[in-house]
Amino acid sequence: MRAIIPSRAGGPDVLTLVDRDMPKPGRNQVLIRVAAAGVNRHDLNQRSRGHGPAGSTDILGLEVSGHIAEVGAGVNETLLDRSVAALVDGGGYAEYVIADVDLVFDWSDGLSAIEAAALPEALFTLQLNLVGLGQLQPDEWLLIHGGTSGIGMAGIPFAKLMGAKVVVTAGSEEKCARSLERGAMAAINYRTQDFVEEVQKLTGGRGVDVILDTVGGLYARKNLAALAMDGRLLHLSPAAPEFSAPLNEIMSKRARVTGALLRAYPLEKKAILAEALRRQMWPHATKSLRPVIDRIYNLETVQDAHRRMDEGVHVGKVMLGMDEAAN
C-alpha cells in the first residue's frame, strides 16, 4: 500500500510517499480501506519532530473514513465492508489502516467520505476536554481560541449542543465573521482587540467559565484574567510549552489549569469517550455538527496540505481524499 511518512524532522518537504506492507488487524481490531483522512495539528508536530510517540507507526494520520476490509480476532464478521469513520493511533495517511473496533463509528448517511473523516479527532478531543475535564454546563460561558481552526469550527456547535454560550478569538475580520456564521455569540479579533477586555464586557465583568486553548502557555496570564471564579483553563497543545503565572492568580480564582493529549489517552478510556459520543453527539453529525471543510488534497499533494496548515489560513478542516469515494 502507499503511505506518507516524514523522512526526517522538518517542514512539509520532508513528507514522503512510500510503499509499505498492508497491516494486519489484531484482536478487537479492524483493517480499514481508507477513503479519506483528516490533517491535524498533531500531524504537523510529528512531522516537525520526525517521529511519533515511542512504539507508534511512523505513518501520519489520526482519523479516517473508509470501508472495513478485514476483521481481527474477536470482531464480528458482519462488520466486513461496512462504511465507517474511526479514530486511529497513527497510520491514517495510507491506503489501509488499523483501528480498534471500539473507536469505529458507522459512517452516517448523508455524509461524504471527506466529512465523515473530518469528525473523529475533533469530537473525541471535545468530549475529553469540554465534557470530561472542563465539565462545561448549560448557560456557562466558553472561550475558544482559534475559532476557525478545525477544533474551533467543531467546538462552537458542540458547546452549543451542551447549552453553553460561546465566544471565540480569531486573527482576522473574515475569520471572525465565519465564526459568527458557525454560531458563536461573539468573535474577538485578537490582532486588533484585547480579548480579556472584550470578554469582561461580554460577561458583565464576570469572565468566562471555560477556556479552550490551542496555543499552550502563550496566554497564561491573560487567560487567567479572562476566567470567572472557579473557571477551568483547558490546554489542547504544548505548542508554547511554558506556562508561567503567579500562583496567587490561580488560587484567588480557584482556577483549574489542565489539559490532555488525546493520542496518549488510554484505549479503554477512549472507548468510554466513543460510547458517549455515539449516544449524544454522533446523531448530530449530519446536522449542526456537520464539519466545515477547507481544502481537499491527496497523497501526492500532502505537502501542500501541510503548508496550508502551517500558514494558518485554513477555515475548518484540511483533508486528504484517497479515491473517488472521497469526492
Q: Where are the domains of the chain?
A: 2-119+291-326, 123-263
pLDDT cut 70: percent of the chain above it: 98
Alpha carbons 73 and 192: distance in angstroms, whole number: 57
**pLDDT tens per residue across span 6-53:** 999 999 999 999 999 999 999 999 999 999 999 999 999 999 999 999
**pLDDT tens per residue across span 138-185:** 999 999 999 999 999 999 999 999 999 999 999 999 999 999 999 999
Confidence (pLDDT) at 273: 98
Average pLDDT, the chain: 95
pLDDT band at residue 326 under the 50/70/90 scheme: very low
Dihedral, 217, 240, 177, 12 alpha carbons, nearest 10: -170
Give the residues across from 157 on adjacent strands: none
For the chain, the residue count is 327
pLDDT band at residue 235 under the 50/70/90 scheme: very high
pLDDT cut 90: percent of the chain above it: 90
Confidence (pLDDT) at 243: 84
Alpha carbons 141 and 207: distance in angstroms, whole number: 8
Residue 323 above 90 pLDDT? no
- Looking at domain 2-119+291-326, its CATH superfamily turns out to be Medium-chain alcohol dehydrogenases, catalytic domain (3.90.180.10)
C-alpha neighbours within 13 Å on the C-beta side of residue 69: 16
Alpha carbons 312 and 304: distance in angstroms, whole number: 13
Give yes or no for a contact between 128 and 260, defined as CB atoms under 8 angstroms apart: yes
Taking every pair of C-alpha atoms in the chain, what is the biggest distance, in angstroms?
Answer: 59
Confidence (pLDDT) at 325: 43
Confidence (pLDDT) at 327: 42
pTM, 2 dp? 0.95
Q: From 194, 32, 183, select the one nearest 104 (Cα to Cα).
A: 32
Confidence (pLDDT) at 179: 97
Alpha carbons 305 and 308: distance in angstroms, whole number: 5
pLDDT band at residue 240 under the 50/70/90 scheme: low
Task: Describe the crossing of helices 302-311 and 41-49 by its angle, rounded to 10 degrees.
Answer: 100
Mean pLDDT of 51-63: 94
pLDDT band at residue 111 under the 50/70/90 scheme: very high
Count of Cβ atoms closer than 10 Å to residue 171 Cβ: 16
Which of 58-72, 110-124, 215-229, 282-296 is predicted least confidently? Answer: 215-229
| Of 245 and 42, more confident | 42
Q: From 4, 103, 125, 120, select the one nearest 60 (Cα to Cα).
A: 4
- Scan for cell 483547558, then name that residue: 234
Note the CATH number of domain 123-263. Answer: 3.40.50.720
